[in-house]
Structure 1
């Protein structure tokens, strides 16, 4: 493995911070790990996003608490969809789709007002833009966040320029900081390889994102970079750290990145508490072959009491689900 120096954040993330994560699927590796350790997180209120224009649109919509209307939806493949949202928001009932979208935006608006950290993971500099081939009733002049399996001729694909991405992210920074002056931003670039773009264009795309992010880090206060991309591509540097598609980092690679993220981006007291929280999380996932044995019953009771002690000491922790699980499986003797 090649050595790498991962700079520590000058004001690391800590328990009690609110953390909004937005961007590519790799965002959710970091977000899921933080959520499992009981950090206060909100992940991808629009769903997974890959390119800067969609990230910017989503964050600005949270600042503005934008209300989406029927005009923002289109009907395709028997469901209503939004060009700005992941397909998890799509559905057959138009009113329910709008309700789900607007509820998510309103929740993100209020969360963002109190947020300490916004973690943005950019995945690609390629953007898909609706073309004139789109039927008039579905036509919007916009960069789409998700193509929703629409016909390919409905879009044209554009590699965003460095200045174009800088302008989008620069505007996003100012909108966020005006809305909530305490926000700090941590950028990462996803190590997922977008091989559908081809190896050459994937590297061009990633290079533009990296250049933009470092421009922003150098330009603005409270903007930082965590090298998830470099940890996988330049430190691990081996296909054994990829999934079968040779594009997505596997479990071993993501754990390696998360280990470095914890050391560089989370403060020491929180790192120590994470170890105790993890014990409760692992116990919750444990499936006993003989759940009614004395040994397993003592195991359940011990972890119930451990969770109770942690809540008493750290009231911001939420072990409601875990304590309910331990309680329900405990047999009264």
Structure 2
């Protein structure tokens, strides 16, 4: 007897391989899956602007990478003793203005380089709601807990989202002729907008994404949203806030992603990398025992072999850790 609805996830015709470069942008759920790829030692740059939720802010960030945009003091504002950028997550904020700008511009430069060389751009859309400053009309990626009355809130239409992404893609494909795009819609439920409003927002995102994927080659859709909402479909797969998928749900989606989006050879290599990662987390009962020294030496050799067989794998930290024995 089945207690939940399972559905097949269509594999990519040309799956992701280990020697390829990835740029990921979007919501907090992108951070979860992106962290899995980083842990597996894929060459992935994750959210160069920090977490972004609405499609127009994500599009703006990608266009700025293409423009190789440099931020200046005029792009920052001060609030509660810290400097912020409306285009960036609060992880970039700080009390030292010059340090904030340096961090932002270093991330911008790294993102511009990664995007120019990327084989994959993975975009996770969170919400169709966007915010603009009432004074000046600037699109805001993060409100930084500024007073709500300073912003206009808008539910973007599918047509607006399609047009914005379409224009960005034309620029991107001209700059990088090999890059392919995977779209996902975040299963995080933005109930602060309202339950009905959240569902409307997700429907708009799904409509826009499927229009684009059905219209263009090199675009693909991975059903992270449907895997949580329709497959798992149970509050036991959410955190205590009943909004964010919990670790079990993230792991379930990750396994589906790996099976559908990673090349079979990459999946096999990933298992070896995961074994090395588990071994690194191992804590011995007796640190200086002969048994533990043999354990370290054995895994040091495994890491060397992996690096020889897959020279694009960055396992220097792991090799240093196991070589200490």
- Give the TM-score range, shorter chain: over 0.9
SS in 2 for 1:191: coil
Give the drift of 1:155. 0.9
Give the drift of 1:284. 1.1
Give the drift of 1:35. 1.0
Give the drift of 1:175. 1.5
Q: Give the structure 2 partner of residue 120 of structure 1.
A: 123
Give the drift of 1:327. 2.2
1:31-78 deviation line (CA, Å, top 9, x unaligned): 111111111110110001000111011000000101111111111110
Question: Is residue 163 of structure 2 the alignment partner of residue 167 of structure 1?
Answer: yes
Q: 1:214 aligns with which of 206, 210, 213?
A: 210
Using the size of structure 2 for normalisation, the TM-score is 0.97
Q: 1:157 aligns with which of 150, 153, 158?
A: 153
Determine the C-alpha separation between the residues in 2 that align with 1:200 and 1:108. 36
Question: Is residue 125 of structure 2 the alignment partner of residue 129 of structure 1?
Answer: no
Q: Give the structure 1 partner of residue 58 of structure 2.
A: 55
Determine the C-alpha separation between the residues in 2 that align with 1:13 and 1:286. 30
| Pairs within 5 Å for 1:172-251 | 172-251=168-247
| Pairs within 5 Å for 1:6-155 | 6-132=9-135, 140-155=136-151
1:242-289 deviation line (CA, Å, top 9, x unaligned): 010000101110111011101110111111111111111111112223
Give the drift of 1:321. 0.8
Comparing 318-327 with 47-56, greater Cα deviation is found at: 318-327
Determine the C-alpha separation between the residues in 1 that align with 2:194 and 2:295. 51
Q: Give the structure 2 partner of residue 5 of structure 1.
A: 8
1:64-116 deviation line (CA, Å, top 9, x unaligned): 10111111111111011100000111111212111111111111111111100
Give the drift of 1:324. 1.3
Determine the C-alpha separation between the residues in 2 that align with 1:97 and 1:62. 18
Determine the C-alpha separation between the residues in 2 that align with 1:5 and 1:67. 44
1:108-134 deviation line (CA, Å, top 9, x unaligned): 1111111000000000001111114xx
SS in 2 for 1:2: coil
Determine the C-alpha separation between the residues in 1 that align with 2:301 and 2:85. 46
Determine the C-alpha separation between the residues in 2 that align with 1:193 and 1:295. 49
Comparing 25-34 with 220-229, greater Cα deviation is found at: 25-34
Determine the C-alpha separation between the residues in 2 that align with 1:179 and 1:77. 40
Give the drift of 1:3. 2.1
- Count of matched residue pairs: 322
Question: Is residue 312 of structure 2 the alignment partner of residue 316 of structure 1?
Answer: yes
Determine the C-alpha separation between the residues in 2 that align with 1:206 and 1:69. 35
Gaps of 5+ in 1: 133-139
Determine the C-alpha separation between the residues in 2 that align with 1:44 and 1:242. 23
1:279-325 deviation line (CA, Å, top 9, x unaligned): 11111112223222222222111111100111111111111111111
Give the drift of 1:5. 1.9
SS in 1 for 2:209: helix
Question: Is residue 290 of structure 2 the alignment partner of residue 294 of structure 1?
Answer: yes
